[in-house]
Amino acid sequence: MALIHEKIAALLEDMNLSNRQAALKCGIPYGTFNSALKHEREIGWSTLDALARGLGVSFHYFSSETAGLELLPDIRADAAAVKAFEILNTRLQAAARTRQYSGCDVSLQDFLDWWFANSGRLEGFDRLQHAVDMFNPPDAEQNRIQPIRSGPASLASICFEVSDSNQLRSTLNGFSDKVNADLVMAHSEAISRGEPVITHPSLDVKLLNGRRFTRQYRRVLAPVYLPDGKLLVVNFSQDIKTG
C-alpha cells in the first residue's frame, strides 16, 4: 500500500470513520474517494486538502514522510510477549499520528493569546481546533453540558477514547449527577464572566467501557462567538497527572 493511502487509512481508523462517512464529512465524492483508496490510485492535493479541513487535521500529516513508528519484538519472545509488543506498537503509532495530526503542540499561552487577540470571536482557529472541544451553552433543564465538536487531539478525546461529539455526550451522560452539575456550573461561569476561566479540577469517574478514570487536569473554559453572534463554549485542557 502506498504511503499516502496508509496515512489516510490510519487517519480514518483513528477517527472511527468509514470511507463513506469521511467522504460525506469532507465534501468529497464517495465513489471517487473509495475507488482511489481501494485500488491505490493517485489522490490529488485538492482531495488531501479537503480531508485535512474536513477532519480537522494538519496538512503536515499528509506531507510528512513517515506513516508511523514500529517496535521490533524479540524473536525469541513467547506468544504473550509478542502480543504485548503488537498492542504497544498500535498505541505508539496512534500517539505518533496524533502529534502529526496537530502539526504542532498547542500551549495554554497559545490558546489565551488566540482568545484575547480575537476578543472571543471564533476566527483564525485552524491551528487550535484539533486540541479543543466545543459546546453549546449548557442545558439548565437537563443539567447537562452540550458538546457539538470533539477535537481529535483534545484531552477528553484521548482520555475518554471518543472520536466525535456524540460519543463524548454519551460518556458525559454516564457521569454522576454531581459531576454533571459541576460541569454545567463551570460552563455557566465562563459565559457569565465573558472571559476564559482557568481551573484545576479532578475527575474520578467510570467510563462507558467500565474502566475507572482518575485524573487531575488544567482546564480553560472560554466563551466564543460565531460570525452570526451565536454563543459557544470552548474547552482547552491539559494533563497534570494520571491516577
In the CATH scheme, what is the homologous superfamily, with its name and number, of domain 108-242?
PAS domain (3.30.450.20)
| Separation of alpha carbons 22 and 10, rounded Å | 12
Region 190-194 average pLDDT: 96
Domain topology for 3-102: 434 Repressor (Amino-terminal Domain) (1.10.260)
Region 37-55 average pLDDT: 80
| Separation of alpha carbons 33 and 50, rounded Å | 11
Q: Please, what's the largest Cα pairwise distance for the chain?
A: 63
User: What does R_g of the chain's alpha carbons equal in angstroms?
Assistant: 19
Residue 94, CB half-sphere, CA atoms under 13 Å: how many? Answer: 16
Q: Taking a C-beta distance cutoff of 8 angstroms, is the pair 89, 32 a contact?
A: no
Displacement of CA 139 from its chain's centroid (Å): 23
**pLDDT score of 16 more than 90:** no
Indicate if 108-242 has the same CATH topology as 3-102. Answer: no
Q: Taking a C-beta distance cutoff of 8 angstroms, is the pair 96, 68 a contact?
A: yes
Write down the domain spans for the chain: 3-102, 108-242
Strands 144-150 and 197-199: unpaired
Task: Return the minimum-mean-pLDDT range out of 48-52, 178-182, 225-229.
Answer: 48-52
**pLDDT-derived band of residue 1, with 50, 70 and 90 as boundaries?**
very low
**pLDDT score of 93 more than 50:** yes
Q: What is the pLDDT of residues 114-171, one digit of tens each?
A: 999 999 998 888 878 888 999 999 987 888 999 999 988 888 888 888 888 999 999 9
